[in-house]
């Protein structure tokens, strides 16, 4: 079976929506999305990989079709996101798997790897950062909120949740923007417009500082366990710059680094090219 199946898993009372394709007995690849999107960002990648791999893409809590409990009932932190997705892998029965991480998916997946290194077969990072030199000046307003979490600094971040900013994230750094379908950012904006979604995302902006604080732990994991590692990077990303991709080779000298002439959402323009690189990488480093 290579057709995409759309399911929900009950993760300790939280409904986590996920897309799944590929043979159920094939090596598992877990796709973790970023801000402000969901598993639909993998709509082109999943079919390109599902002939040889069991590809699973859950929506993080508060994103996409997964539950978005109220902030009084769920702490929107990256530690909590990682815990839920870790439990998700247990609920659906994944003992070992490869990781594909993007944006927010990177600190989520790297936290999982630190906690359970024995479960990780290999890692693919698509503009998923783990080094301070990978953060551009575009993070400055969020950094200001980390230093002073005032109402004023929180309110200043609301522009990052606007429909215009979402579309900009998809098109900035893309040489030919006619290749970027409006479907992805239009759906993202729909989810961002839900009641309470803005406060959820502002909470996560604030908590992102805990990911930066954990960078040394992520890097220590890379050095100790040396997972096979591939970075596929939109080199014109306004948030995560190429230096962050190159830095992985400092702790993982054998890491493969591939740059593509596109922006943050590299799969929007280069899904087939990236899929070809992933096929070759996973064929050599799979759990099959």
How far is the C-alpha of 44 from the C-alpha of 40, rounded, in Å? 9
Per-residue model confidence (pLDDT) at position 1 = 44
Per-residue pLDDT for the chain (288 aa), expressed as one digit of tens each? 458 999 999 999 999 999 999 999 999 999 999 999 999 999 999 999 999 999 999 999 999 999 999 999 999 999 999 999 999 999 999 999 999 999 999 999 999 999 999 999 999 999 999 999 999 999 999 999 999 999 999 999 999 999 999 999 999 999 999 999 999 999 999 999 999 999 999 999 999 999 999 999 999 999 999 999 999 999 999 999 999 999 999 999 999 999 999 999 999 999 999 999 999 999 888 654
CA torsion sign for 231, 234, 235, 240 is: negative
Per-residue model confidence (pLDDT) at position 2 = 54
C-alpha to C-alpha distances, 27 to 24, 55, 87, 122, 155, nearest whole angstrom: 8, 8, 19, 11, 44
C-alpha to C-alpha distances, 12 to 82, 83, 90, 103, nearest whole angstrom: 14, 11, 11, 25
Q: Residues near 163 by Cβ (< 8 Å), separated by ≥ 6? A: 185, 189, 192
Q: Cβ–Cβ contacts within 10 Å for residue 120, how many? A: 22
Catalytic status, residue 116? no
Per-residue model confidence (pLDDT) at position 286 = 66
Per-residue model confidence (pLDDT) at position 288 = 42
Instruction: Single out the catalytic residue among 264, 270, 279, 280.
Output: 264
**Residue from 22, 25, 32, 87 nearest 55 by CA:** 22
């Amino acid at each position: 079976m290579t057709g995409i199946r759309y399911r929900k898993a009950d993760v300790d009372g939280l409904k986590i929506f996920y897309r799944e394709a590929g043979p159920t007995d094939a090596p598992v690849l877990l796709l973790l999305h970023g801000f402000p999107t969901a598993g639909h960002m993998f709509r082109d990648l999943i079919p390109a990989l599902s002939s040889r791999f069991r590809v699973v893409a859950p929506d993080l809590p508060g994103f996409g079709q997964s539950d978005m409990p109220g902030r009084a009932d769920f702490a929107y932190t990256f530690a909590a996101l990682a815990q839920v997705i870790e439990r998700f892998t247990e609920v659906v029965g994944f003992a070992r798997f490869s990781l594909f991480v993007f944006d927010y998916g990177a600190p989520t997946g790297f936290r999982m790897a630190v906690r359970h290194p024995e479960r990780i077969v290999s890692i693919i990072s698509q503009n998923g950062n783990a080094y301070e030199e990978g953060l551009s000046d575009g993070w400055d307003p969020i950094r200001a909120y980390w230093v002073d979490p005032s109402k004023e600094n929180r309110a200043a971040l609301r522009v990052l949740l606007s429909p215009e900013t979402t579309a900009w994230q998809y098109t900035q750094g893309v040489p030919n923007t006619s290749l970027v379908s409006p479907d992805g950012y239009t759906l993202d904006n729909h989810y961002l417009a839900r009641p309470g979604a803005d406060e959820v995302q502002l909470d996560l902006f604030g908590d992102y500082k805990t990911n930066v604080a954990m960078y040394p732990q992520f890097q220590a994991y890379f050095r100790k366990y040396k997972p096979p590692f591939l970075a596929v990077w939109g080199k014109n990303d306004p948030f995560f710059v190429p230096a962050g991709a190159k830095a992985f080779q400092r702790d993982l000298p054998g890491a493969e680094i591939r740059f593509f002439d596109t922006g943050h959402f590299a799969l929007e323009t280069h899904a087939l090219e990236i899929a070809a690189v992933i096929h070759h990488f996973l064929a050599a480093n799979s759990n099959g």
